[in-house]
Structure 1
Amino acid sequence: MSSADPGSGRHFRALAVQPQWHAHDFTSAAAFRTWMRAQLEQARFHLVPDRPNLVVLTELNGLPLVLRGAPWAARLGTFERAAAALFAARLPRTLPLMWRERAGPVRALQLAHADDNARLYLDTCRNLAREYGVYLCCGSTPMPRYRRDGQRLRREPGTLTNQTVLLDPQGELIGVADKVHLTPDEERGGVDLSAGRLDELRVFPTPVGDLGVAISLDAFRPDVIDRLEAQGCTVLLQPDANGAPWTAKEGLPPDPAQLRDQPVAWLESSWTATTTGQNIRYAVNPMVVGNLLDLTFDGQSAITGRPEDAPTLRSYVLTEPRPGFLALSPWVEDGPPEQLRQTGQQLAARSGHARENAYHTEVLWADLNLPPSRCPVPPATPHEEALRGLLRGEARVHRAMPIWLGWLAMGALLARVLRR
């Protein structure tokens, strides 16, 4: 892994990519690679050749790969219908996973092709980091945990985390971070992911900062920020996918009677971490936009810093201008609050309005400076060693059950149920 030169300061450029996604971007490996590459191509115009570049992508940008190989499912209109149809179509894989690994149907559906999708995701990101010569925060994706056994990787049964992968410009793995605090949509009633462990969050020293990852909701949680602060994090990475209209009320209020506008709530994440923190100097928060089947995603990407580093007054829509924003994506329009709330509903999925899905995309950048790193390089976890071997071609995933055994297992399970 690359680390900062201890004898000099660090001067680099950070970029946040705010893309728009569509279901068809995930129905084939080629479409996914094209969509991901388009984001780096947008960023390319802002890369600088004389110092390192850090590119940060958005949360769950690999989640819709569950649609891969099934373009017909994307035409069913809603994720609930698509998931049900895919589960049935992939029954020889999904049903044995439910039985053997005690996975719910949605998690089993994702695990059925998790190894193939993980390989596609990692290979795509590694190639992009190499091609564009950047430090790459790949965003995040539902990913199993692996353990290396010689030349084989063995998947941890039943586990599927919201996971960020960090790569250097040679495509080498820097580190991995799991999301600790899941939203209701990510828990068993929704995407059904596994929560990460707080004590596994670490800081990775690099020429583009001492990187700590707080995926979306994690950046709002004091236990996550305090842990990264204590380890000397200087650059906070917050990949995000906000699944609601940006000008709607927040989805996770402490008290339903005290609902706030989402942009007001968002000030409690990266902006607060950089304007009030001790070690955290900068934060990069890219947000994906676009209607994915019947789901709405919207937001304003930002790069934040300390007030003295960003004295210009600006802020999210529906909030008062303030210092601390080094770069901020504009929303689709300015105007009074009621107009903005109405526009948010017009943009949303299945609104039927002429402006439906007409979101704003952006690439933000800021030139950042830090003193030499004093953070130690954390030891690699077994999962990181496994992914490192996979990326280097030294190991490959061991398939626990070939498809023909899946058919046999399904038959045995059905026979057992019928006997009861």
Structure 2
Amino acid sequence: MNSSAGRDFRVVAVQPQWHAQDFTSAGRFRAWMRSQLELARPHIAGDRPTLVVLTELNGLPLVLRGAGWATRLGTFRRAATALFVVRLPRTLPLLLRERVSPIRALQLADADTNAELYLRTCQALAREYGVYLCCGSAPLPRYYRQGRRVRRVPGVLTNQTVILAPDGHLIGATNKVHLTPDEQTGGVDLTPGDLNDMHVYPTPVGDLGVAISLDAFREDVLGHLGAQGCTVLLQPDANGAPWTSLEGLPPDPAQLRDQPLAWLDSSWKATTGGRVRYAVNPMVVGNLLDMTFDGQSAITGAAHEGQPQSYALTGPRGGFLALMPWVETGPPEQLRETGRQLAAGSGHPHENLYRTGVLSADLHLPPSRVTPPTPTAHEEALAALLNGEGEWPRPTRSGRPAAWLALLGLIASLTWARRRRDGDRGRACAPGQRPR
């Protein structure tokens, strides 16, 4: 609530576990998203506004929608290759017309219908639970409006967060600027966002700025949001590695350190260093086909706030207003062994037994001094779609001969798979070097 006395509100971070089957149909996806709001329900305040923050890339596996059989192929690479071929009449024209890779063509082929499902689901949940909702993030197109018609910018697919008000209206959208190697051409092949398009949104639950995962580690992003008056930093996250493994990221992948130690350079550092007042960092866990995701969600503030505690493998410190415990405590080697047991493909009885839960904190801020930003063309288009003032784009059908499509598609998918395999062989990765 905005008043001369300031703003009192609650923030909630949800740490869910995902499974590939949650994304094989619209109904299952809605149920999975609803389960997260149900986890949050006991923490939703009745006497003040509540902000619920969900995790990064919780819409990425929607590429599996309508293809439950693909989850039995065991790896994301095999599933994506098979889906590209099976969906050839839609994927190949995109590959040729928009000059994108097979994996981006696969995602763009259903991007509009998946975006509608994703955003409509989030809108309905924000309204039903009466919360401000940071939807997490998903690979979403960039749109622009022409009258009532909304069109997709060709070839563009960003890792994008959308924030909704309790009435379901759009507050803003932010694209991830600093993509990790797994998000670039050798991985799911997303489009990097533009730093100048990152805005801060004044609301009753803080002056919200979004730094998706790796962006929260980058000085240019934190400085840009700080200069606009960000008071609550939202860091949706999907850490694609065992939490207790080592990591190395550009610019110097040879400098290895424990994942939890690295995480202190994001939200915790931003708040304890005075860059922003508060930060909310939810992290998804679970093994998605052959990919491992793990972490500890956190809500952070100033260095003198909170009880002394910290991530696994690091010493206690101030600044944590709320922190999700890891699956166990113990000496470092014991924790690292447990991390290996949890990981995809370990074959251990503990495989995929991660900790889920919800964190919350009651926060206070003075009245906002931030001026609402001018909506981008993309935000105007999204608002029109969500308000029923625009028409969702629909896929066009190709008239190309099916046999010709099949032949070219098979060649393209095999070439793509070979390039990825060769790239993996040439990439010197330390254990746990799956980027954020």
- Which category of TM-score, normalised to the shorter sequence, fits these structures? over 0.9
- Say if 1:93 and 1:406, in contact at 8 Å, map to a contact too: no
State percent identity of aligned pairs: 70
Out of 63, 75, 86, the residue aligned to residue 83 of structure 2 is: 86
1:99 aligns with 2:96: yes
* Cα 1:267–1:407 shift into 2, 3 Å: farther
Structure 1 unmatched runs, 5+ = none
Structure 1 partner of 2:230: 233
Mapping of residues 351-366 of structure 1, within 5 Å: 351-366=346-361
CA–CA separation in structure 1 for the residues paired with 2:388 and 2:254: 54
Counterpart pick for 2:366 among 345, 368, 371? 371
Q: What is the distance in 2 between the residues matched to 1:233 and 1:398?
A: 33
Match of 2:271 in 1: 274
Structure 1 residue identity aligned to 2:247: E
> How much has 1:258 moved relative to structure 2?
2.7
Q: Partner of 2:418 in structure 1?
A: none
- How many angstroms does 1:364 deviate by? 0.2
Deviations 1:27-64 (A, max 9, x none): 00000000000000010011110000000000000000
Shift of 1:309: 2.9
Aligned Cα root-mean-square deviation (Å): 1.7
Are the equivalent residues in 2 in contact too, given 1:92–1:410 (CA < 8 A)?
no
Cα separation, partners in 2 of 1:388 and 1:410, compared to 1, 3 Å: farther
From 124, 127, 130, give the equivalent of 2:124: 127
2:135 counterpart of 1:141: no
Report the AA paired with residue 295 of structure 2: G
- Structure 1 residues 44 and 412, CA, compared in 2 at 3 Å: closer, same or farther? closer
Partner of 2:434: none
Cα contact 1:96–1:409 (8 A) shared by 2? no
Amino acid in the other structure paired with 1:405: G
Q: In structure 2, how many angstroms separate the alpha carbons of the residues matched to 1:178 and 1:231?
A: 17
Most deviating of 251-260 and 135-144? 251-260
Deviation at 1:307, TM superposition (A): 1.9
Paired residue total: 410
> Secondary structure in 2 aligned to 1:110?
helix
1:185-334 matched pairs, under 5 angstroms: 185-252=182-249, 254-278=251-275, 280-310=276-306, 312-334=307-329
Question: Once the 2 structures are TM-superposed, how far is the Cα of residue 393 of structure 1 from its aligned partner?
Answer: 1.4
In structure 2, do the counterparts of structure 1 residues 409 and 85 end up closer, same or farther at CA, with 3 Å as the change threshold? Answer: closer
Cα separation, 2, equivalents of 1:197 and 1:373? 25
Q: Secondary structure at the match of 1:229?
A: helix
Matched, 1:160 2:157: yes
Tell which deviates more after alignment, 185-194 or 254-263. Answer: 254-263
- How far did 1:308 drift? 2.8
Q: Report the Cα offset of residue 381 of structure 1.
A: 0.7
| Amino acid in structure 2 at the alignment position of 1:154 | R
- Give CA deviations for 1:320-377 in whole Å, capped at 9, x if unaligned: 1000000000000000000000100000000000000000001000000000000000
Contact 2:248–2:257 under 8 Å retained in 1: no
Q: Is the 8 A contact 2:248 2:254 kept in 1?
A: no
- Aligned 1:42-121 pairs, distance under 5 A: 42-121=39-118
Cα distance in 2, alignment partners of residues 245 and 262 from structure 1 = 8
**Structure 2 counterpart SS, 1:147:** strand
Kept after mapping to 1: 8 A contact 2:70/2:82: yes
Deviation track 1:360-418 (CA, whole Å, cap 9, x = no partner) reads 0010000000000000000111111111111111111233622x536579659969x9x
1:20 is aligned, of 17, 20, 26, to 17
- Mapped to 1, the partners of 2:58 and 2:403 lie a distance apart of 32
Residues of 2 paired with 1:10 and 1:321: CA distance? 30
Say whether the 8 Å CA contact 2:243–2:339 is kept in structure 1: yes
Partner of residue 399, structure 2: 405
Mapped to 2, the partners of 1:6 and 1:200 lie a distance apart of: 29
2-structure distance, mates of 1:348, 1:211: 34
Ranges in structure 2 where 5+ consecutive residues have no aligned partner: 412-436
Report the counterpart of residue 350 of structure 1 in structure 2: 345
* Pair 1:143–1:344, CA change in 2 (3 A): same
Question: Partners of 2:374 and 2:54 in 1: how far apart?
Answer: 25
1:379-418 to 2 correspondence within 5 Å?
379-399=374-394, 401-402=396-397, 404-405=398-399
Cα distance 1:345–1:31, how it changes in 2: closer, same or farther (>3 A)? same
Q: In structure 1, what is the Cα distance between the partners aligned to 2:127 and 2:404?
A: 42
Q: 1:49 to 1:189 in 2, by over 3 A?
A: same
Q: Indicate conservation of the 8 Å contact 1:6/1:373, yes or no.
A: no
1:257 positional shift: 4.2
Q: CA deviation at 1:187?
A: 0.2
Mapped to 1, the partners of 2:325 and 2:395 lie a distance apart of 47
Q: Which 4+ residue blocks in structure 1 deviate beyond 4 angstroms?
A: 406-415
Q: Return the alpha-carbon distance in structure 2 between the equivalents of residues 246 and 91 of structure 1.
A: 37
Task: Give the aligned residue type for 1:73.
Answer: A
Q: CA deviation at 1:255?
A: 3.4
- Which range is displaced more, 147-156 or 29-38? 147-156
Q: Is residue 248–residue 255 contact of structure 2 (8 Å, CA) maintained in 1? A: no
Alpha-carbon separation, structure 1, partners of 2:408 and 2:46: 61
Does structure 2 conserve the Cα–Cα contact (< 8 Å) formed by 1:11 and 1:370? Answer: yes
Distance 1:75 1:102 in 2: 30
Cα separation, 2, equivalents of 1:256 and 1:308:
33
CA contact (8 A) 2:138 2:160 kept: yes
Q: Partners in 2 of 1:400 and 1:26 — Cα distance?
A: 20
